[in-house]
Structures are given as structure tokens and as C-alpha cells.
Structure 1
């Protein structure tokens, strides 16, 4: 019988990396909201790109892509 290879298993990470990821998940949404408000008030190209990166990072962490 062929064994399935799971490419992503978050429980195989070291404990310090899992803890760091958990802290990032808690802080990414408030930082994204603040950056979104800042982008609405004073939009610059850097702010828009930074907001896009934060949104992608928040989605990736929420959906367990990272």
C-alpha cells in the first residue's frame, strides 16, 4: 500500500515556531485594520502595497497556507 505524503503538517514544526505563528495570527488583523484606515486617510503607493501584503498574509495565516 502506498503511503500518502502530507506536505504541510503544522504539528511537525518546533514549539517556538508554532508559538510565533500563533502570536502573528493574533496581531495581523488589528495591524491590517489600522493600515487600512491609514491608507484611506493618506493614500500613498507604499501604503497600498503594504496593505495588500498584509491582507495576503492575514488570509494565508487564517487559511493555514503558511
Structure 2
């Protein structure tokens, strides 16, 4: 017997996950910026760019 997924529970879970990501993106971005200035590699620059885009998306509610 298949169990139905409750859409309201799923939405609450996604809201909680989004809230956690929103709180953690700024510290990760600051840490990555410091790391990029000390040891600049291509991967560090790409991660920093991704974190900045995600931080802007959360700030302006694009996500």
C-alpha cells in the first residue's frame, strides 16, 4: 500500500530548510571570501561567486 505524501508537511520542511540556508549563507560567504583572498584557486573563486549569487537570491527573495 502506497503512503500519500502530505503536501503541507513537505512545505513546512522546505520552509525550514530555506530558513536554515538563509541563516548559513552569509557566514559561508565570508569564510569563502577570506579563503579566496589567502589561497586563490579556480574552485574557490567559483564557490565564492555561487555563494554571492545565493546570498543575493535569498536577500531579494528570488528563491
So what's the TM-score if we normalise by structure 2? 0.82
Q: 2:23 aligns with which of 23, 26, 36?
A: 26
Q: Unaligned regions of 5+ residues in structure 1, if any?
A: 1-12
Q: Which has the higher helix share?
A: 2
Query: Does residue 16 of the first structure (1) align with residue 13 of the second (2)?
Result: yes
Q: List 4+ stretches of structure 1 deviating above 3 A.
A: none
Per the alignment, residue 5 of structure 2 pairs with none
Query: Does residue 54 of the first structure (1) align with residue 51 of the second (2)?
Result: yes
Looking at structure 2, the residues matched to 21 and 46 of structure 1 have their Cα atoms a distance apart, in angstroms, of 25
So what's the TM-score if we normalise by structure 1? 0.78
